Amino acid sequence: MDYITDLFIDGEWRAGGEGTTFGVTDPSDGSTIAQFAIATEADCTAAVDAAERAFPSWAATAPRVRSEILRGTFEILTAEKEYFAEIMVRENGKSFPDALAEATYATEFFRWFAEEAVRIPGEFRLSPSGDKRIVVTRQPVGVSLLITPWNFPAAMATRKLAPALAAGCTTVLKPARETPLTAAYVVEALRRAGLPQGVVNLVTPVPTGPAVAKMMQHPAVRKMSFTGSTEVGRTLLKQAADTVISTSMELGGNAPFLVLPGADLDLAVQGAMVAKMRNGGSACTSANRFYVHSSVHEEFVAKFTAELAKVKSGPGLDRENTLGALVSIEERDKVAGLVETAVAEGATVTLGGTPSKVGAFYPATMLTGVTHGDTINSTEIFGPVTAIVQVGDVDEMIRMANDSIYGLIAYVFGEESLALRAALKIDAGMVGVNRGVVSDPAAPFGGTKQSGLGREGSSDGILEYLEEKYIGMAP
């Protein structure tokens, strides 16, 4: 396959200032598939400078024009969906079905925000005392720094780029080191759709921290949107304080999955297969802690294990495989270590549990006899490992679900009114009720507690890139 391996600065693809590169690896066999340009700190500053120069005219560009460029990008990515998916398979390791689903989801953000670009709300009303007109208009925040992780290399970028560009912001995208090829392809699609010079820029500094810190100190940067771990999010929030940059944070998760008494167990297993196994478990939304009521525990575990046993694991380019590789050998070993710890703490492996000898593969794995306080329940597994806790009481299940510093998403399976009541009591930004996947570009995505700040997608997503201006006028 041909890949773009350069930086994109001020409308041009180019090598890094020092001409150095880093290797991009196919995790299914460890081979190096590309050498990507390393951005120097000077390259990063040049990217922000370009975004700063492009900002006034992009902010003043008619919403309809901005909208049509986003729509054009949607058309390009839709037409090339299979190629788009293959890039992700190669650099991330995920299965082809997972990559195709991500390509569809990622592309949809351009269509959704093409539609939102022309519907930016404002207000015009008389004050209660009648002494003035209250005019509220919304303006783009400014140059936006967008930092994304490797697990959804396309969707995490488009979920930021599309609303930022729709709002009239100019952008610098910093993808994860593991997955720059997908990001470069998305940026090229925007260029092909007619995005003007400087409006989007792509940089890949190594090491990341100092270069990002420097960009955040650039006076033109007014917005930072980050998706990644809570740990790095905390660091960036501290850095953002220095220049009082507006931040949106999509951070880690530790999703509870509750199976209540009376749940439709076939539906619960179907939901569990998606909530746990989508993206090989490498998702912030991945079901991490299963709390299953004693009355249905045995049957749920048997049915779920039977489905997990059917999962076909292997290289993503073989389209029959439904479970690809983890992103790296380090991730594979991290998952294996968590399973070993769980066993040492008393859990039993009833399926899987042995890492691959070649490539970063870990099989679909079932652990029973886990207790709420176990290490595996307080750690993001980020792999295809199911940890089941048996609980005898619904209130206790809800208490356990809420006993976490994270609050991104939860899943509840049960009779509808009982499940809805549980959903209302769970402290999370999103809850799937009798559904194993809730992400939708038209719905607000985001978490409570240390899972983040702000929302992406929906009509709220564009507001993260807009600032209100109030004008008080004579009546």
Chain residues binding ligand NAD by CB under 6 A are: 147-152, 156, 174-177, 208-209, 212, 227-229, 232, 235-236, 250-253, 284, 380, 408, 447, 451-452
What span, in angstroms and rounded, lies between the C-alpha atoms of 144 and 341? 41
Residue 20 one-letter amino acid: T
Is-catalytic flag, 44?
no
Q: How many CA atoms lie within 13 A of 210 on its CB side?
A: 7
In this structure, what token pair is assigned to residue 181? 């090829």
Could you identify the residue written with the tokens 């040492």? Answer: 344
Closest CB to ligand NAD among 327 and 419? 327
What span, in angstroms and rounded, lies between the C-alpha atoms of 31 and 310? 28
Closest CB to ligand NAD among 175 and 198? 175
Element spanning 301, H or E = helix 294-309
Q: How far is the CB of 380 from ligand NAD (least distance, A)?
A: 5
What span, in angstroms and rounded, lies between the C-alpha atoms of 300 and 150? 32
Active-site residue (options: 86, 108, 250, 380): 250
In this structure, what token pair is assigned to residue 206? 């190594």
Q: How far is the CB of 460 from ligand NAD (least distance, A)?
A: 14
Is-catalytic flag, 250?
yes
Closest CB to ligand NAD among 33 and 206? 206
Closest CB to ligand NAD among 245 and 301? 245
Could you tell me the CA-to-CA distances from 92 to 46, 66, 280, 401, 439 in Å, in that order?
Answer: 29, 31, 11, 30, 20
Closest CB to ligand NAD among 225 and 270? 225
Active-site residue (options: 52, 102, 116, 284): 284
Q: How far is the CB of 126 from ligand NAD (least distance, A)?
A: 41
Sign of the dihedral defined by the CA atoms of residues 15, 17, 23, 26, in that order: negative
Q: How far is the CB of 251 from ligand NAD (least distance, A)?
A: 5
- E strand residue ranges, 233-321: 246-250, 255-259, 287-293
In degrees rounded to 5, what are phi and psi of residue 420?
-65, -40
In this structure, what token pair is assigned to residue 342? 């769980």
CA of residue 458 relative to chain centroid, distance: 15
Closest CB to ligand NAD among 154 and 265? 154
Q: What residue number has its CB nearest to ligand NAD?
A: 228
Question: Which residues are marked as active site?
Answer: 250, 284
